[in-house]
A = this chain, B = another copy of it.
Amino acid sequence: MVMITQSALDAVADIPDGATVLIGGFGPAGQPVELIEALVETGTRDLTVVNNNAGNGDVGLAALIGAGRVRKVICSFPRQHDSHQFDEKYRAGEIELELVPQGNLAERIRAAGAGIGGFFTPTGYGTPLAEGKEVREIDGRHYVLELPIRADYALVKAHRADEVGNLTYRKTARNFGPIMATAATTTIVQVHEVVPTGAMDPEVVVTPGIYVDRLVVVPTATTPEPEEDQ
A116 CB-CB contact with B under 8 Å: yes
How many chain A residues touch B (CB < 8 A): the figure is 24
A102: min CB distance to chain B, Å: 14
A117: min CB distance to chain B, Å: 4
Tally of this chain's copies = 2
Cα distance A117–B141 when bound, in Å?
Answer: 8
Contact string against B for A residues 168-202, beta-carbon threshold 8 Å, 1 for contact and 0 otherwise: 11110000000000000000000000000000001
A118 CB-CB contact with B under 8 Å: yes
Q: Which of A122-160 contact B (CB under 8 A)?
A: 122, 136, 138-139, 141, 143, 147
Are B118 and A122 within 8 A (Cβ)? no
Interfacial chain B residues near A111, Cβ < 8 Å? 119
A204: min CB distance to chain B, Å: 5
Residues of A within 8 A of B (CB): 107, 111, 114-122, 136, 138-139, 141, 143, 147, 168-171, 202-204
Sample of 7 further A-B pairs with CB below 8 A, known A118-B143, A139-B147:
A115-B121, A117-B120, A117-B138, A117-B139, A118-B136, A119-B119, A171-B202
